[in-house]
Amino acid sequence: MFVRFTNIINSLQSLNKCYTNSEMVRKILRCLPKSWMPKVTAIEEAKDLNTLPFEELLGSLMTHEMTIKNHEDDEEQDKKKKKVIAFKSSTTDSSEEDSDDEMALITRRFKKYLAKKKFG
């Protein structure tokens, strides 16, 4: 954003339209998105916008942006660490016939396995 702003300001200067440092600072603060409003308010209240250098504003906003990104990265890592896997459990009343059928199936598979081992 600052590169584009600087290019526009330089182009305007070549057309003999010059802005003061104070005007440039105010324009940058006005064009920031709503999510930055707390930071804009803090800068407006803490510093004199008439004497605030453009470069200092740039540094302050870049520091804030890096802090926001670090917090987002930390939150992402926390979400990955806290990922919980839960298994669905079901309770069914199994009768003796079901368990007998399952046992017969397991026995048949085991016999096939042994038969393959013998001849293999």
pLDDT for the residue numbered 84: 64
Structure tokens at 7: 């290019």
pTM: 0.55
Residue type, 18: C
User: For position 66, what pLDDT does the model report?
Assistant: 92
The backbone torsions φ and ψ at residue 94, rounded to the nearest 5 degrees and listed phi first, read -100, 135
Alpha-helix runs per DSSP H in the chain: 2-14, 21-31, 37-46, 54-81, 96-119
Rounded-to-integer distance, Cα 59 and Cα 55, Å: 6
Question: Sign (positive/negative) of CA torsion 101, 106, 107, 113?
Answer: positive
Amino acid at 85: I
**How confident is the prediction along the chain (120 residues), in pLDDT tens digits per residue?**
888 988 998 899 899 998 888 898 899 899 898 988 999 999 989 988 888 898 899 999 999 999 989 988 888 887 777 766 677 776 665 566 677 888 888 888 888 888 887 765
